[in-house]
Amino acid sequence: MRPPAHAGGAAQLHSNIVPPVVDLPGDLGGHSGRFWSPHLALETAVIPRYSRPEMTALWTDEARLERWLQVECAHLRALEQLGQAPAGTADSVARTAVLRPERAAEIEAIVKHDVIAFLTMVEESVGEPARLLHRGLTSSDVLDTSLAMLLRDAGHLLQADLRNVIAALSARAREHRYTYTIGRSHGMHAEPTTFGLVLAGHLAEFVRCWHRLAVAIEDISVGSLSGAVGTYAQTPPDAEAIALAVLGLRAETVPTQVIPRDRHAAYFAALASIASAIERLAINVRHLQRSEVGEAQEAFTVGQRGSSAMPHKKNPILSENLCGLARVVRGYADMARDNVPLWHERDISHSSVERFIAPDATVTLDFMLHRTAGLVSGLVVYGDRMAQTLDKAAGAFFSGNVLLALVDAGVARQTAYGIVQRSALAAVTSGGAAEMKALLLADQEIRAYLDEAALDRCFDLRHHLRHADLILDRALAEAAPIANS
């Protein structure tokens, strides 16, 4: 498509530009669609299987150019209000601008500058009114302000994803309020808990992630339309204030031609925190699904296969996939931190990094959260197997209760510890053949301090978990405003 006739000099200047020929490797490792390529609007495409349409749509080249035009038109409307541009200029630009990523790429191949290429492309379709675009601005004003809008909007989509995970965990935690299970520390049996509390721990973590992300979104929702080195030398602060209000952003406190990258580092750190929360949940599912444990497993759908060689397999592939993707998202947080120390008022060492990590991190985490909500909702829980695990422990997990009962009876703590440990380890090594309670009753040193009734109280599971409701209800109460919003 050639520029319209009224494009004037810009059309003549670039009429000889042809699409560049570029040799591309087979897989550049981006997401599907046209994403923020460093030059020439290259196709970069992360694996489509880890992408969802709504988030992916934010990061196409078309969407990027649209945001740039929104920023430019918002600034132009502000100049109109201040009497520095004819009324209706911004509406004319917005109405007639033709945004074509391939045309921008053609121009960028010559000028080697993406924003100049964008402005030239707009001039070709808009004509004379475009001369007032970018008045007093610098490239980073457009790039950083539009990036803030994209990260904000991506953050809101991630909040919606988190809400689904929180709702799913809330429902399953209520369901398993009284499903007794063994708690584990260091991977070993510790003391009894409920599976509802296990899920509540994850629930509370995702609630914290939601609030952390909310703070990060607020922190990143700033723009700058302050010109070269951020001094407003060629454009008034009032124009910035008017334009940013339209765009739903606040003004950067001290712009240095770029928005300081500590804001971006905090944003990607919040995403990394969510990824780690997902991985912690996924690791627990993987453990519970092990053949030796078998207390829970991922949903196994009709027609699903677990192994190409072993038909009996049901592998925790969703959880394993989530653990792998978490490493990817956390890696992007490291890159964002490395972008903080820029030279003086600006350099562009951050730019190439952000063209990768902004779409990749948000698209990948969006996929992860969607998968996590499904994992939780479909999780198959074997309460009877959990009860069997408790039975096989032969009551050894009540050792702490007996220890404190001896201390309360006047026995020195370390002495009491040794007495209880003797019977506890014997019960554990017996594989459930010898009940710890019976071993204690036969131990005359213990009977000198605790009678049978006192020992019965030490082995009361309901008494041991008498505060479980309090903890679970506390987690559910914190989650409710998010889950129900």
What is the set of active-site residues? 186, 307
Closest CA to 404 of 417, 395, 394: 417
pLDDT in tens, 425-455: 998 888 665 689 999 999 999 999 999 999 9
Do 59 and 150 touch, CB atoms closer than 8 A? Answer: yes
Place of tokens 């492309």: 121
Burial group, residue 92, by CB count within 10 angstroms (0-12, 13-18, 19+): middle
Higher pLDDT pick, 30 / 249: 249
pLDDT value for 349: 80
Q: Global pTM?
A: 0.87
In the chain, % of residues over pLDDT 70:
90
32: confidence class by pLDDT, cuts 50, 70, 90: very low
The three-state secondary structure class of 193 is strand
Parts of the chain belonging to CATH 1.10.275.10: 5-132
- How many CA within 13 A on the CB side of residue 341? 2
Residues 132-159 have pLDDT tens digits of 999 999 999 999 999 999 999 999 999 9
- How much is the pLDDT for 22? 33
Closest CA to 339 of 451, 283, 264, 256: 264
Could you read off the pLDDT of 183-214 as tens digits, one per residue? 999 999 999 999 999 999 999 999 999 999 99
285: tokens are 């599912």
* pLDDT greater than 90 at residue 300: no
pLDDT given for residue 317 in this prediction: 87
The residues of the chain that CATH labels 1.10.40.30 are 396-458
Q: For 291-312, what is the mean pLDDT?
A: 88
- The chain-wide mean pLDDT, for the chain, equals 88
Give the rounded percent of residues in the chain with a pLDDT score beyond 90.
76
CATH of region 396-458: 1.10.40.30
Question: What residues contact residue 127 under an 8 Å CB cut-off, 6+ apart?
Answer: 4, 6, 7, 8, 96
Give the pLDDT confidence of 168-181 residue by residue, as tens digits.
999 999 999 999 99
3-state secondary structure of 312: coil
Q: Per residue in 326-377, pLDDT tens?
A: 999 999 999 999 888 988 988 888 888 888 999 999 999 999 999 999 999 9
> Are the C-beta atoms of 296 and 288 separated by less than 8 Å?
yes
pLDDT tens digits, 391-417: 888 889 999 999 999 999 999 999 999
Q: Which fold has domain 139-389?
A: Fumarase C; Chain A, domain 2 (1.20.200)
From-to residues of CATH 1.20.200.10 in the chain: 139-389
Fold category of 5-132 in CATH: Fumarase C; Chain B, domain 1 (1.10.275)
Amino acid at 166: I
Task: Evaluate whether 451 touches 434 at the Cβ level (below 8 Å).
Answer: no
d(CA 399, CA 209): 36
> Where is pLDDT greater, at 62 or 41?
62
3-state secondary structure of 166: helix
In this prediction, residue 243 has a pLDDT band, given cuts at 50, 70 and 90, of very high
Looking at the DSSP bridge assignments, the partners of residue 188 are 185
